[in-house]
Structure 1
Amino acid sequence: MNSIIQFMKRNYKIIVLVLAISIGLWSFIPKGQNDPEKDKLLLELLTFVIEKGHYSPAAIDDNFSKGIYKDYIDAIDPSKRFFLQSDIDEFSKYEFEIDDEIKNKDLTFFDLTYYRLIQRMEESKEYYREALKNPFDYSVNEEINTDYEKVPFCASVEELKDRWRKQVKLSALASLVQKQKVQEDIEKNKNKSPEEKLAEFKTKQGDKLTKEAEDKFKENLNKKDTFSHKSYEQMEKQTRESTLKSLDDNFTFIKDLDKEDWFAIFVNTIATRFDPHTSYFAPDEKERFDVSMSGKLEGIGARLQKKNDFTEITELISGGPAWKQKELEAGDLVLKVAQGDKEPVDVVGMRLDDVVKKIKGPKGTEVRLTVKKPDGAIKVITIIRDEVEIEETYAKSSIVEKNGYKYGVIYLPKFYIDFENKDSRDAGKDIAIEIERLKNEGVKGIIMDVRDNGGGSLKTVVDIGGLFIEQGPIVQIKSAAGKKEVLFDKDPKVEWDGPLVIMTNEFSASASEILAAAMQDYKRAIIIGSKQTYGKGTVQNVIDLNQFVRGNTLGDLGALKTTTQKFYRINGGSTQLEGVSSDIVMPDSFAYLKMGERDVDNAMPWDKIDPADYNLWTKQTNFELAIANSKKRLEVNPQMKLIDENAKWREVRSKEDVYSLQIDKFKKEQKELEDSSKKFKSIEDYSNKFQFKSLPYEEAQMANDATLKEKRNRWHESLSKDIYVEEAIHVLDDLQSGSAKKELTNKLKKDKAVKS
């Protein structure tokens, strides 16, 4: 999640001063790669910075040690494919000793686990190579459990070999079934005429078929058919060879990692035990962080995170290649990555950084991702990399009409700001401009959409909140020293005083939660969305560790992102863990999955402080009526019931981790999964019947900018299929005052009479 960017500079300066005095005493440090002195220095520096600067640093004791032990073993062997139970028994002697080792700058536990891991990895190469030598017998009735948290470590080498055999067999089986399905489809369609194939393609695509897609399909029909039938034996051999190559590539990649890379993992495990948002940036990671702040990158436009042994797509960047293509989506697990038409590489178990390196690449090049969908389906997705434009991180707005009223929709993907240039655009300035533009178009209500908005600048939240109220507090901040500060909107001007709806979901975090909470506490806006938002009520600073060491000859020490503050609602409650509860709760596909801050074991606790002094908004008289009307609509809405049913189905599917390795049973399982998911296809095909359009200034730009036009058309298309936006429009309509509705009715009658 994006953090609220540094705000309380006074506390930061105190940390710098203390560290400069303490660490500046070190000098004449010996130079050398993977030097243990550098590792010891990093440990001391890391813990000192956190203990002095963290909002509420955990005690480095036996309980802390236990948490590090578990997290670190999970990090380096998440699928339990390397270590034996005898190794774990040996490591467990240090389970309650790591805290003492940190204090004494002792690297015994790390050295033991590191050298043992390298040894076990080398041995594992022989296990999978041996398993892939001969054809698999897919008639054998056996299965594999991929819930690695519940699977124990292997008691013997023979048991470990069998685990490897089953895991590579599953990978090969999935590829084999996919190849068979493709071949069957080709065989089935080869005798059809081009006209029949095109008609079938159009039927499958429905209203999603674009002229470009149709032209591309016709072009492929005219190409010479190079398909050659392969026997079962040929395909079976091909899948084993492909699996072997992927694993060899994976291990080659791992071999390139040095001891310093593995030590960075250990250090980060220590950092994240303080809280989920405190973490260590190794030098390479810090460099990538700096690049990301520039706002431009070349790749597919997706954010990734590690989820057990898998890499998960957490977000698609608006305007990026993956977003445009519409096949990849949040929640997908990346299993394999291929460069163009080359053999795919198995990335399960691979480090996140390494997966990112494989997925990123120059503009115009092709990458193919094999992903596991949230419903369990396996799909290969081809994406052409491109430059991901910063423009799509900015606010944008649209207009929609209902019952003669115009309403505005403002989408804010993040709370952005340029700290280096105060004259540059930021979220606060841009939202004010969008509101003014919407007012000029005569809108009678505004929807602020901060769904999937992970946060950003605290200053912009205060600025945006101030657009909707008269002078007053927006958020309260409490520092590590216990000092409280209330951040106010001091401008008496109200940019928008009409009906307001704020849309959130479980991925709305940090700054998004501040805005929603403030508007809810003032009774200024109705909050529509998931049961609650993410629940991140903390502030982080990114601190370059190199600035604190005088005479450093050891090289780059990286950086530390640490939690320095907590923020609170103006009513005194924290958004930490609990998030912001919606006034109108709408079910979504992820409602029953564990995704929020509350699902992390070492998240900081919820608490509260004294409320700030503020006055409720009194200009919205039918607030409660609009909420009641919405709840009545949702209770009888069949689409809402289907979405809730789909969410429960996804929860059940997420817990099904046992796969059959018998080919007929595996095919049956996949077919049943495919059939059961068809019930929910209408969720994707839903249309709310509203027409969305750009503002006049943007219409003029789109006339000369095909790319912008395509982006806005896609956004408007998504809005027209969005049941949540539909309900927000209904709520805005219910918020219109009786006198305003009467005035509009008279105007419409008058206009009709004039036309007659």
Structure 2
Amino acid sequence: MNTIINFMKRHYKILLTIVVLSITLFAFNSNYRNEVNSDKDKLLLELLTFVIEKGHYSPATIDDTFSKGVYKDYIQALDPSKRFFLQADIDEFAKYETQIDDQILNKDLTFFTLTYDRLMQRMGETKGIYKSILENPFDFKVDESFNTDYEKAPYAKNTEELKERWRKQIKLSALSSLTDRLKMQENKGKVLEDSNDAAMEDEDNHVVDGVTPLVTKTEAKSDEKPKTFEELEKETRESAKKSLDEYFSFMGDLNRNDWFSVYINSITARFDPHTNYFAPDEKERFDVSMSGKLEGIGARLQKKNDFTEISELISGGPAWRGKQLEAGDVIMKVAQGSAEPVDVVGMRLDDVVKKIKGPKGTEVRLTVKKVDGTIKVISIIRDIVEIEETYVKSSVVNKNGLNYGVIYLPKFYIDFEDKNGRDAGKDIALEVDRLKKVGVDGIVLDVRDDGGGSLSTVVDIAGLFISEGPIVQIKSAGRRKEVLFDRDKKIEWDGPLVIMVNSFSASASEILAAAIQDYKRGIIIGSKQTYGKGTVQNVIDLNQFVRNSAVGDLGALKTTTQKFYRINGGSTQLEGVSSDVVMPDRYSYLKMGERDVENAMPWDKIDAAEYTIWDKNANFNKAITNSKNRIASSEYFKLIDENAKWIDSRSEDNTYSLHIDKFRTAQKEIEEKAKKYKPISKYKNNLQFTSLPYEMDQIKTDNILKEKRDRWHEALSKDIYIEEALNVLDDLQTKSISKQSGTQKKDKLVKS
């Protein structure tokens, strides 16, 4: 989950933490000043644990219990499916289960070095295993099975047992792929057969219903000969080998520093789930995700074996504007301006990215193999690239003669380095103003799947909908609470408001939903409750504590420094925000919230802040009641709830037969059961969503943006949850409107 990040370093509490750390760590700087060749990992280990203990809201005691937790998390992270380590390895590692705490305090890397070296050894050995397995055809008539519940599975006792586990894992994957290939071929044959039947019927009649037949008996026959079972089986093995080759290529790109980050994060996670270490590259990616922009060429890359391929051009970026690069091009060499080009074939993807990215205004020259096979050198001037998917977007829909606005906020983003840069607060205000100008009668603010972001933007956004008052309360360890206020009396939008949430709405999303709910300013609809993350994290640059630059970039630490509370005093921690109107969804019964995460901080409450409930929603309670009644009588929502229960029941089904007939029978039974729920994916609300005028102008010259908006609008037109949100806006109206019952409409669709 993305987290609330409060980067306001001028904030007195954070400043105090930094000062305390700086003073105390001066001794560190003195000790390491002259040790140019000091071990970076040991320094990092010492620095991290010290900063966490001094800055964390409620630091855990580093003892044997702590050590056991780190051991469990780390071993599981190294080998989650238990296909590398042997039981003998685990027995050897287990000797350190209660010693990790001592090794942390003593800057001892014995345990990490042992596990890292052994993992590299086992991975090297495993390459030969999977290649050997895939050399010969599988016998899918053998009556055997495989259980995919890796957590409960024992480790292999010896190499032979490990080979057998790999064989069954690969066989299951191949069997699943083979079954799909057989089904596709059978369906294709059925289509051709049906086409032949139709063609013969049309040939007899010459013209059917005034239309000349498009398919004749001869045309319906395919020149493509159906593949034999043996041919399809061979294809599945070749495909499996290619996938595993790519997997091991990716794993091979990981170096010791990457695995040390895994170890470090196994330690930080014992303090709470949201305290994490960012290696330098990860910190850079985090900054990009928070700001939504970077300096570079604006292309997404992917690794394919030894090659780096362009997977997508970012709309508006320099590569997109240049119109020379395209998806599928393979980058062979990279040159900085007129400098000698560097061959990047076989290079780590992260290293290729570093060479291509660079400051705005600088030149990079890419030698690429085009999709048509030609080789071309392309010069691109780097620029600021905005990642459009990060930012807010809005749409307008007409329903029952009224116009409504739908605003989607994927993240509470902000650029801490540029005060004039984009942030969610300013952008939402702009979208609300644009919606007002086109005369909307209500607004839906959609924060489904929004994992959070900047704390300051939440206050700005909530303040758009109220006159003034408290938005959220914050408490640091051992200190009095602080209340963050909206002090601007201006109300940007005082009309009907609905906030949409789901189980993955977290952190900043929960603060916003809680504030709107406590004020009774709008109606919260969605999952039974939101994710349940009620903590605040700060990102601390670790380099500021070490004067000796010889150790290199140490990265950053994101640590929990505060808890936030609703203005009514309650915490969203674990409990989240309960929706005013609960709508069933596919994940209603699965355990995926903060309350299901180990080491999550506890729920508590503090005194409420003083605030005045909004009194301009005359139809508030009526709208909630109407919505609940619609949902209770909706056949679609009943079907969604039944589907959710079925999905939950199937989560315990982990054993699969490796006999092709039994496997196909089982899959057919699942498919037959799943047919009952197909109407859910085929649902249409018959509403037409359009972009705002300013975006319509952009779309005229930006095909990528047009395609993205078309996909979004199509998704909205199939979204039963959006439709119900709009129904609620209808019910919140104080003026008379002519409308058809949403329940009657949906029931009619079910029967059709």
TM-score bin (small chain): 0.7 to 0.9
Please say if 1:681 is aligned against 2:669.
no
Find the aligned partners of 2:441 and 2:369 in 1 and give their Cα distance. Answer: 44
Q: Alignment partner of 2:293: what SS?
A: coil
Select the residue among 6, 16, 32 that pairs with 1:27: 32
Please say if 1:564 is aligned against 2:564.
no
Select the residue among 497, 500, 510 that pairs with 2:497: 500
Find the aligned partners of 1:489 and 1:721 in 2 and give their Cα distance. Answer: 36
Structure 1 residues 629 and 123, CA, compared in 2 at 3 Å: closer, same or farther? same
Matches within 5 A, 1:653-672: 653-672=650-669
Q: CA deviation at 1:294?
A: 5.2
Select the residue among 179, 198, 201 that pairs with 1:177: 179
Select the residue among 726, 732, 741 that pairs with 2:736: 741
Please say if 1:434 is aligned against 2:415.
no
Q: Alignment partner of 1:474: what SS?
A: strand
Select the residue among 36, 58, 62 that pairs with 1:56: 58
Tell me the equivalent position of 2:153. Answer: 151
Please say if 1:396 is aligned against 2:401.
no
Structure 1 residues 650 and 355, CA, compared in 2 at 3 Å: closer, same or farther? farther
Once the two structures are superposed, residues 395-424 of structure 1 have per-residue CA deviations (whole angstroms, 9 ceiling, x without a partner) of 333333344333322222222222233233
Structure 1 residues 287 and 26, CA, compared in 2 at 3 Å: closer, same or farther? farther
Following TM superposition, the consecutive aligned residue runs of length 4 or more in structure 1 with deviations greater than 6 angstroms are 191-197, 316-320, 338-341, 353-366
Code of the aligned partner of 1:299? R
Equivalent residues of 1:29, 1:553 under 8 A apart: no
Tell me the equivalent position of 2:727. Answer: 730
Please say if 1:114 is aligned against 2:116.
yes
Most deviating of 577-586 and 497-506: 497-506
Q: TM-score with structure 2 length normalisation?
A: 0.79
Once the two structures are superposed, residues 517-570 of structure 1 have per-residue CA deviations (whole angstroms, 9 ceiling, x without a partner) of 001111111101100111111122222222211224232222211112211110
Select the residue among 643, 646, 649 that pairs with 2:643: 646
Structure 1 residues 227 and 61, CA, compared in 2 at 3 Å: closer, same or farther? farther
Find the aligned partners of 1:259 and 1:7 in 2 and give their Cα distance. Answer: 30
Code of the aligned partner of 1:671? K
Select the residue among 669, 689, 693 that pairs with 1:692: 689
Equivalent residues of 1:461, 1:515 under 8 A apart: yes
Equivalent residues of 2:531, 2:594 under 8 A apart: yes
Q: CA deviation at 1:489?
A: 0.7
Q: Alignment partner of 1:152: what SS?
A: coil
Most deviating of 558-567 and 177-186: 177-186
Find the aligned partners of 2:151 and 2:672 in 1 and give their Cα distance. Answer: 29
Once the two structures are superposed, residues 160-211 of structure 1 have per-residue CA deviations (whole angstroms, 9 ceiling, x without a partner) of 22212211222222233333334444555567879989xxxxxxxxxxxxxx
Code of the aligned partner of 1:610? D
Code of the aligned partner of 1:24? N
Find the aligned partners of 2:700 and 2:279 in 1 and give their Cα distance. Answer: 46
Q: CA deviation at 1:99?
A: 0.8
Find the aligned partners of 2:107 and 2:413 in 1 and give their Cα distance. Answer: 40
Equivalent residues of 1:16, 1:548 under 8 A apart: no
Q: Alignment partner of 2:473: what SS?
A: strand
Once the two structures are superposed, residues 64-83 of structure 1 have per-residue CA deviations (whole angstroms, 9 ceiling, x without a partner) of 11110100110111111122
Tell me the equivalent position of 1:98. Answer: 100
Code of the aligned partner of 2:175? L
Most deviating of 698-707 and 582-591: 698-707
Find the aligned partners of 2:679 and 2:426 in 1 and give their Cα distance. Answer: 39
Please say if 1:637 is aligned against 2:639.
no
Find the aligned partners of 1:650 and 1:365 in 2 and give their Cα distance. Answer: 44
Tell me the equivalent position of 2:472. Answer: 475
Structure 1 residues 288 and 497, CA, compared in 2 at 3 Å: closer, same or farther? closer
Q: CA RMSD in A?
A: 3.6
Q: Alignment partner of 1:400: what SS?
A: strand
Equivalent residues of 1:55, 1:480 under 8 A apart: yes
Select the residue among 537, 540, 563 that pairs with 2:534: 537
Q: CA deviation at 1:238?
A: 4.0
Q: TM-score with structure 1 length normalisation?
A: 0.79
Code of the aligned partner of 1:93? K
Find the aligned partners of 1:467 and 1:494 in 2 and give their Cα distance. Answer: 5
Find the aligned partners of 2:541 and 2:610 in 1 and give their Cα distance. Answer: 38
Structure 1 residues 256 and 418, CA, compared in 2 at 3 Å: closer, same or farther? closer
Q: CA deviation at 1:146?
A: 0.7
Q: CA deviation at 1:640?
A: 0.4
Once the two structures are superposed, residues 556-603 of structure 1 have per-residue CA deviations (whole angstroms, 9 ceiling, x without a partner) of 222211112211110111111111100000001111122221111111
Matches within 5 A, 1:135-284: 135-189=137-191, 227=224, 229-284=226-281
Structure 1 residues 107 and 497, CA, compared in 2 at 3 Å: closer, same or farther? same
Equivalent residues of 2:171, 2:658 under 8 A apart: yes
Select the residue among 605, 624, 627 that pairs with 2:624: 627
Q: Alignment partner of 2:484: what SS?
A: strand
Tell me the equivalent position of 1:3. Answer: 3
Find the aligned partners of 1:698 and 1:459 in 2 and give their Cα distance. Answer: 27
Code of the aligned partner of 2:293? G
Tell me the equivalent position of 2:212. Answer: none
Equivalent residues of 1:412, 1:450 under 8 A apart: yes
Select the residue among 457, 482, 503 that pairs with 1:485: 482
Once the two structures are superposed, residues 455-495 of structure 1 have per-residue CA deviations (whole angstroms, 9 ceiling, x without a partner) of 22222211111111112000111124424211111111122
Equivalent residues of 2:67, 2:97 under 8 A apart: yes
Once the two structures are superposed, residues 617-655 of structure 1 have per-residue CA deviations (whole angstroms, 9 ceiling, x without a partner) of 112122112111111111110000011111112222222
Tell me the equivalent position of 2:309. Answer: none
Find the aligned partners of 1:339 and 1:652 in 2 and give their Cα distance. Answer: 41
Q: Alignment partner of 2:561: what SS?
A: strand
Code of the aligned partner of 1:268? N
Q: Alignment partner of 2:4: what SS?
A: coil
Most deviating of 461-470 and 705-714: 705-714
Structure 1 residues 590 and 359, CA, compared in 2 at 3 Å: closer, same or farther? farther
Structure 1 residues 358 and 504, CA, compared in 2 at 3 Å: closer, same or farther? farther
Structure 1 residues 135 and 30, CA, compared in 2 at 3 Å: closer, same or farther? farther
Once the two structures are superposed, residues 314-355 of structure 1 have per-residue CA deviations (whole angstroms, 9 ceiling, x without a partner) of xx99999xxxxxxxxxxxxxxxxx9899xxxxxxxxxxx999
Code of the aligned partner of 1:167? Q
Aligned length: 653
Structure 1 residues 192 and 157, CA, compared in 2 at 3 Å: closer, same or farther? same
Code of the aligned partner of 1:637? S
Tell me the equivalent position of 1:452. Answer: 449
Structure 1 residues 455 and 288, CA, compared in 2 at 3 Å: closer, same or farther? closer
Equivalent residues of 1:298, 1:388 under 8 A apart: no
Equivalent residues of 2:36, 2:548 under 8 A apart: no
Please say if 1:714 is aligned against 2:711.
yes
Q: Quick one: percent identity of the two aligned structures?
A: 64
Q: Alignment partner of 1:439: what SS?
A: helix
Equivalent residues of 2:406, 2:446 under 8 A apart: yes
Q: CA deviation at 1:116?
A: 2.5
Tell me the equivalent position of 1:574. Answer: 571
Q: Give unmatched runs, 5+ long, in structure 2.
A: 200-214, 303-311, 317-326, 331-346, 357-365, 372-383, 740-752
Q: CA deviation at 1:735?
A: 1.7
Structure 1 residues 421 and 629, CA, compared in 2 at 3 Å: closer, same or farther? same
Find the aligned partners of 1:692 and 1:242 in 2 and give their Cα distance. Answer: 41
Code of the aligned partner of 2:513? A
Once the two structures are superposed, residues 700-722 of structure 1 have per-residue CA deviations (whole angstroms, 9 ceiling, x without a partner) of 54455554444433333222221
Equivalent residues of 2:3, 2:536 under 8 A apart: yes
Equivalent residues of 1:27, 1:552 under 8 A apart: no
Structure 1 residues 536 and 618, CA, compared in 2 at 3 Å: closer, same or farther? same
